[in-house]
């Protein structure tokens, strides 16, 4: 007679055997994949301009043009733009190109010790401004549309306020504007990054930047991992084992891992501004943030604005993004909340499809 204990043991042996079989099959799948197969940011593009380590690219068109105004993608310095072009079937870039959009990109490169003194002033009033002017010369337009992502959205918001004459439209995705709005967020795990950053002693921020000249990429990665500790503990064992014998899912996993591992150092002085003046002192939304000797007045933004945020974003809570609505001068303001998380907005098939459609339709309506 078989008892409950025997049944449980037999079930354990069966599951163990299945996992072992899956592991060996997965090992063969993994052995067949080469580094060049996991290629992020691979959508064809042409280098148009290089200024220091910063490069301006123009993507090759894949469909008949439906939006004439050029669109410049600006990602932040915390991470790489390649999250928007992760792999062919999970690429916001390819999706927008298929909608007939003239797409451009700023690649910040990999800042090192020589960039330690660069400030947000340099990124907004020098690099972005030069890129915008070059795009205008190349295309014959006098304005461009800016598409800012995360910290890049902060840069483009500041640029639109300081140079409204050069901005046709402003599209923001997962962009923090009010860095203290998370205090009133009802979801407990939203805004942990903001809480941690506000808890830092200003002198400790100064010491890190003064000694290292940067906010190390490895340090930034560790902070993001600590925001979701259980997921960080299980993704390379439990989660990986579940999909290791499925090549398509494994490739998705490897593309994401490659993007996560490619986190450059954040230039020191720009990082000091970000942590102290924005995260801690909340100067942007309060009208006290200064770049190149000028106050960034959000009321000076007179271009149409599309503000897209993720309702499940634990890094940039939606409340931090929504704060822009009542602060700008433009009467053409649209908010689109989407389901998903901070990264899922760009790599999830469902979220990315809605994101692309929302951006394309909004731009087409304003390109007449």
- Report the distance separating Cα 257 and Cα 249, nearest Å: 12
Tokens (6 digits) for 35:
């580094």
Does residue 31 lie in a domain region?
no
Is 150 a residue of the active site?
Answer: yes
Q: Is the pLDDT of residue 2 over 60?
A: no
Q: What is the pLDDT of residue 346?
A: 86
Q: Is the pLDDT of residue 14 over 80?
A: no
Angstrom distances, CA of residue 76 to CA of 22, 153, 284, 362, 368: 39, 7, 16, 23, 30
Contact 91, 41 (CB under 8 A): no
- Report the distance separating Cα 178 and Cα 273, nearest Å: 15
What percent of the chain is predicted at pLDDT more than 90?
66
- Report the distance separating Cα 341 and Cα 58, nearest Å: 28
Q: What is the pLDDT of residue 99?
A: 96
Q: What is the pLDDT of residue 8?
A: 63
Non-local CB neighbours of 67 within 8 Å, separated by 6+ positions: 99, 100, 101, 102, 145, 360, 363, 364, 367
Q: What is the pLDDT of residue 232?
A: 66
Q: Which of 346, 278, 334, 274 is nearest to 310 (CA)?
A: 346
Residue 309 phi/psi, 5-degree rounding, is -140, 165
Q: Which of 323, 326, 334 is nearest to 366 (CA)?
A: 334
Does residue 12 lie in a domain region?
no
Q: What is the pLDDT of residues 62-119, one digit of tens each?
A: 999 999 999 999 999 999 999 999 999 899 999 999 999 999 999 999 999 899 999 9
Please identify which of the residues 133, 150, 158, 320 carries the catalytic annotation. Answer: 150
Tokens (6 digits) for 297:
């007045």
Angle at 264 between CA 345 and CA 44, to 5 degrees: 60
- Using alpha carbons only, how large is the chain's radius of gyration in Å? 22
Q: Is the pLDDT of residue 274 over 70?
A: yes
Give the range of the structural domain holding residue 336, as residue numbers without chain letter: 36-158+166-365
Q: What is the pLDDT of residues 170-196, one digit of tens each?
A: 999 999 999 999 988 777 677 888 999
Return the minimum-mean-pLDDT range out of 9-23, 77-91, 109-123, 288-302. Answer: 9-23
Q: What is the pLDDT of residue 9?
A: 54
pTM: 0.90
Does residue 303 lie in a domain region?
yes
Average pLDDT over residues 121-139: 98
Q: How confident is the model at residue 272 (pLDDT cuts 50, 70, 90)?
A: very high
Does residue 11 lie in a domain region?
no
Q: What is the pLDDT of residue 368?
A: 72
Residue located via tokens 């992020």: 40
Per the prediction, the chain carries an average pLDDT of 89
- Report the distance separating Cα 258 and Cα 196, nearest Å: 26
Return the minimum-mean-pLDDT range out of 79-93, 201-215, 240-254. Answer: 240-254
Task: Indicate the angle between helix axes 192-199 and 217-227, nearest 10 degrees.
Answer: 130
Q: What is the pLDDT of residue 3?
A: 53
Q: Is the pLDDT of residue 17 over 60?
A: no
Contact 283, 289 (CB under 8 A): yes
Q: How confident is the model at residue 282 (pLDDT cuts 50, 70, 90)?
A: very high
Does residue 330 lie in a domain region?
yes
Does residue 17 lie in a domain region?
no
Q: Is the pLDDT of residue 157 over 90?
A: yes
- Report the distance separating Cα 178 and Cα 1, nearest Å: 67
Burial of 42 from C-beta contacts in 10 A (0-12 / 13-18 / 19+): middle
Q: What is the pLDDT of residue 340?
A: 83
Does residue 19 lie in a domain region?
no
Return the minimum-mean-pLDDT range out of 7-16, 22-31, 87-96. Answer: 7-16
Centre a 10 Å sphere on the Cβ of residue 226 and count the other Cβ atoms it contains. 12
Q: How confident is the model at residue 238 (pLDDT cuts 50, 70, 90)?
A: low
Number of domains in the chain: 1
**What DSSP element (H or E) covers 22?**
helix 4-31
- Report the distance separating Cα 113 and Cα 229, nearest Å: 31
Q: How confident is the model at residue 300 (pLDDT cuts 50, 70, 90)?
A: very high
Burial 177-203 (b: 16+ CB within 10 A, else e): bbbbbbeeeeeeebbbbbeebbeeeee
Residue located via tokens 């140079």: 163
CATH number for the domain harbouring residue 88: 3.40.50.1820
Does residue 24 lie in a domain region?
no
Q: Is the pLDDT of residue 348 over 80?
A: no
| Greatest C-alpha distance within the chain | 85
Q: How confident is the model at residue 259 (pLDDT cuts 50, 70, 90)?
A: confident
Return the minimum-mean-pLDDT range out of 135-149, 155-169, 253-267. Answer: 253-267
Q: What is the pLDDT of residue 21?
A: 60
Average pLDDT over residues 23-39: 69
Q: Is the pLDDT of residue 1 over 60?
A: no
Strand partners, 67: 101
């Amino acid at each position: 007679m078989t008892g409950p204990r025997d049944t449980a043991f037999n079930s354990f042996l069966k599951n163990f055997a299945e996992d072992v079989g899956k592991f060996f099959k997965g090992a063969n799948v993994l052995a067949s994949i080469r580094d060049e197969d996991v290629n992020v940011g691979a959508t064809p593009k042409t280098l148009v301009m290089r200024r220091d380590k910063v490069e301006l690219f123009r993507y090759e068109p894949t469909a008949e043009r439906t939006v004439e105004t050029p669109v410049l993608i600006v990602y932040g310095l915390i991470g790489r733009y390649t999250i928007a072009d992760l792999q062919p079937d999970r690429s916001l870039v390819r999706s927008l190109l298929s909608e007939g959009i003239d797409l451009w990109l700023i690649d910040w490169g990999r800042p090192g010790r020589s960039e330690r003194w660069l400030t947000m002033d340099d990124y907004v009033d020098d690099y972005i401004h030069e890129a915008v002017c070059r795009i205008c010369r190349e295309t014959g337009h006098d304005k461009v549309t800016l598409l800012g992502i995360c910290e890049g959205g902060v840069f483009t918001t500041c640029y639109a306020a300081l140079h409204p004459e050069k901005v046709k439209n402003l599209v923001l995705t997962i962009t923090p504007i009010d860095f203290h709005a998370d205090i009133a967020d009802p979801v407990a795990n939203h805004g942990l990054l903001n809480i941690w950053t506000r808890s830092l002693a200003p002198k400790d921020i100064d010491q890190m930047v003064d000694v290292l000249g940067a906010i190390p990429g490895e340090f930034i990665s560790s902070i993001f991992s600590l925001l979701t500790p259980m997921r960080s503990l299980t993704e390379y064992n439990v989660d990986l084992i579940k999909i290791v014998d499925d090549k398509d899912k494994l490739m998705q996993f490897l593309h994401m891992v490659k993007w996560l591992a490619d986190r450059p150092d954040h230039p020191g002085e720009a990082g000091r501004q970000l942590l102290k003046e924005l995260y801690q002192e909340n100067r942007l939304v309060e009208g006290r943030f200064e770049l190149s000797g000028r106050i960034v007045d959000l009321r000076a933004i007179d271009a149409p604005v599309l503000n897209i945020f993720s309702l499940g974003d634990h890094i940039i809570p939606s409340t931090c993004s929504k704060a822009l609505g009542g602060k700008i001068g433009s009467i053409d303001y649209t908010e689109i909340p989407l389901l998903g998380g901070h990264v899922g907005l760009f790599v999830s098939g469902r979220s990315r499809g809605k994101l692309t459609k929302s951006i394309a339709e909004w731009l087409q309506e304003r390109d007449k």
